[in-house]
Amino acid sequence: MLTVQHLEKHFENTKVLNDISFSLEEGQALSIIGSSGSGKTTLLRCLNFLETPDAGTITVQDKVLFDADHHANCSEKEIRKNRLHFGMVFQSFNLFPQYTALENVTLARELMAKDTGESKDAIRAAGMELLDQMGLADRAGHYPHQLSGGQQQRVAIARALALHPDILCFDEPTSALDPELTGEVLKVIRGLAEQKTTMIIVTHEMAFARDVADQVIFMDGGFIVEQGDPKQVIDHPQEERTKQFLARFAENN
């Protein structure tokens, strides 16, 4: 489904991503772990075309979406089209406060309706179905300020799913939530994994990463230090830096 090769990103003189390469099969979940500042969020932002990599390629289903050597020729319209392959769920929800839960979920499809010809009723019905899947059918008319953090994040997940992305990306989806609400959101993501949704999950929930992911990547200083089966990376890490991170994480939790 996804192949990333030799991806690099610099901010002025700071190299944030160094030679990042990995692949993801359809229906798999990939968890990315690592300390703050290790490059995890920047990697997701590059995949979603919110940042432009300085080197490397991004390929989805054998189609090269990004090649740094030819990016200068890529139009804004092409970038927007490429972005549709990825759904993004942010740690701070990023819902539009002036729209209801249902309106947040349906907005993007309504904006595209002039190109797709999809009816407003069909879009609304699909939005309600997604909210029902998230356990929020009775909150469709509520505005974000009337929802708990966990409910807002579930609306954000429904919104990301609304455009049927090939790959769903989560950037620490529970970091802004208290433990009780964290469970709500993790349950939804676990359900998506059981449905074989292709996902990339940046997370600090190690037990969740071990249980749900098909593979885990540990990043440090912009490099992939270790990647593989979650039980191997989390329970039996090979690299010293991975061992140090997991030991410190265990101490703090």
* pLDDT tens-digit series, residues 214-252: 999 999 999 999 999 998 999 899 999 999 988 887 776
Whether residue 211 has pLDDT greater than 80: yes
Q: Is residue 131 part of a domain?
A: yes
The total of other beta-carbon atoms located within 10 Å of residue 119's CB is 10
* pTM of structure: 0.89
Q: Is pLDDT at 134 greater than 80 in this prediction? A: yes
Give a yes or no: residue 111 inside a domain: yes
Instruction: Kindly indicate the confidence band of residue 253, based on its pLDDT and cuts at 50, 70 and 90.
Output: low
222, part of any domain: no
pLDDT at 73 over 80: no
Q: Is residue 145 part of a domain?
A: yes
Residue 226 lies in a domain: no
Return the structure tokens found at 96.
Answer: 């539009």
Spatial strand order in the sheet of 223-228: 86-89, 167-171, 199-202, 29-33, 215-220, 223-228
What's the pLDDT at 178? 84
21 found inside a domain = no
User: In terms of residue numbers, what domain contains 137?
Assistant: 95-164
pLDDT of 98 over the 90 cut = yes
Between 76 and 42, whose confidence is greater?
42
Average pLDDT over residues 74-99: 86
**If DSSP states are collapsed to H, E and C, what string results for the chain?**
CEEEEEEEEEECCEEEEEEEEEEECCCCEEEEECCCCCCHHHHHHHHCCCCCCCEEEEEECCEEEEEHHHHHHCCHHHHHHHHCCEEEECCCCCCCCCCCHHHHHHHHHHHHHHHHCCCHHHHHHHHHHHHHHCCCHHHCCCCHHHCCHHHHHHHHHHHHHCCCCCEEEEECCCCCCCHHHHHHHHHHHHHHHHCCCCEEEECCCHHHHHHHCCEEEEEECCEEEEEECHHHHHHCCCCHHHHHHHHHHHHHC
Residue 172 within any structural domain of the chain: no
pLDDT for residue 81 = 83
Domain count, the chain: 1
What is the per-residue pLDDT across 113-133, written as a single tens digit (0 to 9) for each?
777 778 889 999 999 999 999
Q: Is the pLDDT of residue 142 over 90?
A: yes
- Whether 115 maps to a domain, the answer reads yes
